[in-house]
Structure 1
Amino acid sequence: MSNIAKRQTSTLDKVLRIALYVTLLAMALVYLAPFVVMLLTSLKDVEEIRSGTLLSLPASLDFYAWGKAWSGACTGGTCEGIAPYFLNSFQIVIPAVLISTIVGALNGYVISHWKFRGSNLFFAALLLGCFIPFQVILLPMARTLGWLGIANTTTGLVFVHVVYGVAFTTLFFRNFYQAVPAELVKAARLDGAGFFTIFYRIILPISTPIIVVTIIWQFTQIWNDFLFGVAFSGFDTQPVTVALNNLVNTSFGGKEYNVDMAAAIIAALPTLLVYVLAGKYFVRGLTAGAVKG
């Protein structure tokens, strides 16, 4: 190839690269526009919101809305800041994620490397659970929670999310463990290792990518859930999504859009932090289990 052709190819590559970066930057700006509007609105007072434009900068930084969204109370005691409900969500999310991840890992390990009579039927039933709409299980789950005596409690919501999440976590771990050589497990059995020894010393140490995937998936699903939260929680055990809905739809003496936007950003912060800190491992973990089906 001549030097002229090489220069033309190099120039074309640079132009395409610049065009790609410009396109990605434009799409990122479009994607972030709602968040920018929310952030700017949360830093303005009500009069400035009504008289200004959505993208106008605040005249001065005012964090009053953030304080009221977090701990303020409405007149009459019918609504309050989202702080206690923020804590409720963590009390629901953390045990639900841990339990569903552990159970899903054990199920995936069993289905992949400890075949038993009916194992395929068991996996098909779990797979079917991934496609059952939330609305279908509301009534039977409500009766189950009442029978167990954990209705309108955070324990009940943990139970609901574990039951519904196990199907997804099992599928993730099963696909990942299918790529683990069966000879490795068989060799461990011949050496006298039992079920839990193999799982703890061989399977679990190589499961970090898929564990990260399930934690991100479950954390996001449970934290953002509204339907189960509004259906199975009491007034004092509501998750932050239900509290946010109540705050936004309750007003006294005028709508405070700055408080609503601040509360929405606060409610979204945990999931944003999870994706920022561990997002790069999410795709890596998904593709790690895509070698064998």
Structure 2
Amino acid sequence: MRNRTRTVVTAVAAFVLLGALWEITKLVLPAAGVTVGDIRLLPRTDDAAMPHVWTVLARLAEPEVAGAAVARPVWLAVLAGAAFTLVLAVGGLALGGVLGALLALVMQRFALVERATLPYVVASQTVPLIAIAPLVAGWGGKIAIFGWSWQPWASVMVISSYLAFFPIAVGVLRGLGSPARADLELFRAMAAGWWTTLLRLRMPASVPYVVPAVRLAAAAAVVGAIVAEISTGTRGGIGRLIIEYAQSATADPSRTYAAILGAVVLGLVVAAVVGLLDVGLRRYRGSVR
């Protein structure tokens, strides 16, 4: 309980510190920024570029559409968009996690597969996500299974899984190979098969590696979902909401930052969920050599 309280206090303190640094930057730096020739060294700090923290927070309580008969507040729109993106990010994390874990299992079992596959797994992360999104959306639009047509949200989930796949695959592979040589020799001496060794030794020993990998994959899945929503034009999520609010950024920049704040909170929520996984598997932390 003490550790959890310390974590919550640290997270709140980090938010407060970030807000304080934001306001100090506005106070210290010139409103027009600092430019040397044609190169801008420091950004502009006027209200059009960096609105005050309290202005962004106040915008959350205002109606999304001014003058409408029934208009939802901005915080409710941000919450709905974040919830939509959260579902897609969790789906992408699950899909990428399963595929990454299965590939890591095969690579650990067969050294030839690892030598042949791992370089391509690493190289796959060098492909820009913004270039993959249109391809996934275009290919998916041609898929129809038993009368079910590919939906835009499915493209977002696949793109999200693409980013979540890599850290889990590498983390699980590293974890499965982490048991000490003496432990492996003991299992061989007891005539334990590969499956028994996997369940009783390799998987428990891999927990200290898998949990950080899942934490990285969860953050990557959220980023992938937001970028995919922007690239594919999928409506309903926080990514599309950022674009819609950014279109009116000239007149109301604080609304765009309100949507960005929602994306930040979404990432923290996903990280907290992964933290629960870490708590549940804490007894395996001593398995790493």
- CA-CA distance at 1:92 after TM superposition: 0.9
One-letter code aligned to 1:261: Y
Higher RCO (CA-CA < 8 Å; seq separation 6+):
1
- Return 254-263 or 139-148, whichever deviates more: 254-263
One-letter code aligned to 2:106: V
Question: What per-residue deviation string (whole Å, max 9, x for no partner) do you get for residues 178-206 of structure 1?
Answer: 322366457657645453x5444433323
Which residue does 1:248 correspond to in 2? 246
| Structure 1: unaligned runs, 5 residues or longer | 1-27, 39-48, 282-287
1:148 aligned onto 2:143:
yes
- CA-CA distance at 1:139 after TM superposition: 4.3
Distance 1:166 1:63, change over 3 A: closer
| Structure 2: unaligned runs, 5 residues or longer | 1-15, 27-45, 279-284
C-alpha RMSD over aligned residues: 4.4
One-letter code aligned to 1:243: L
Question: What per-residue deviation string (whole Å, max 9, x for no partner) do you get for residues 76-120 of structure 1?
Answer: 89x9722332111111111222332233233223323x1254431
- In the aligned structure 2, how far is the partner of 1:176 from the partner of 1:198? 13
| Alignment check: 8 A CA contact 2:241 2:259 kept | no
| Alignment check: 8 A CA contact 1:104 1:167 kept | yes
- In the aligned structure 2, how far is the partner of 1:116 from the partner of 1:146? 37
1:111 aligned onto 2:107:
yes
- Match of 1:235, SS? coil
One-letter code aligned to 1:271: G
- CA-CA distance at 1:64 after TM superposition: 4.9
TM normalised by structure 2 equals 0.61
One-letter code aligned to 1:210: Y
| Alignment check: 8 A CA contact 1:152 1:233 kept | no
One-letter code aligned to 2:61: G
- In the aligned structure 1, how far is the partner of 2:95 from the partner of 2:131? 23
Which residue does 2:60 correspond to in 1? 66
- CA-CA distance at 1:249 after TM superposition: 2.0
Distance 1:161 1:257, change over 3 A: closer
| Alignment check: 8 A CA contact 1:68 1:259 kept | no
Which residue does 1:168 correspond to in 2? 167
Distance 1:116 1:31, change over 3 A: same
- CA-CA distance at 1:275 after TM superposition: 5.5
One-letter code aligned to 1:245: I
| Alignment check: 8 A CA contact 1:82 1:244 kept | no
Which residue does 1:133 correspond to in 2? 128
- CA-CA distance at 1:212 after TM superposition: 2.3
- In the aligned structure 1, how far is the partner of 2:136 from the partner of 2:179? 36
TM normalised by structure 1 equals 0.61
| Alignment check: 8 A CA contact 1:224 1:241 kept | no
- In the aligned structure 2, how far is the partner of 1:84 from the partner of 1:57? 22
- In the aligned structure 2, how far is the partner of 1:56 from the partner of 1:147? 45
One-letter code aligned to 1:156: S
Q: What is the aligned residue count?
A: 234
Which residue does 1:17 correspond to in 2? none
- In the aligned structure 1, how far is the partner of 2:143 from the partner of 2:271? 35
| Alignment check: 8 A CA contact 1:97 1:219 kept | yes
Find the partner of 1:120 among 109, 115, 127. 115
Distance 1:138 1:86, change over 3 A: closer
Find the partner of 2:22 among 21, 28, 34. 34
1:100 aligned onto 2:92:
no
Distance 1:141 1:176, change over 3 A: same
- In the aligned structure 2, how far is the partner of 1:142 from the partner of 1:160? 9
- In the aligned structure 1, how far is the partner of 2:142 from the partner of 2:96? 22
- CA-CA distance at 1:141 after TM superposition: 2.1
Distance 1:152 1:247, change over 3 A: farther
| Alignment check: 8 A CA contact 1:100 1:162 kept | yes
| Alignment check: 8 A CA contact 1:107 1:170 kept | yes
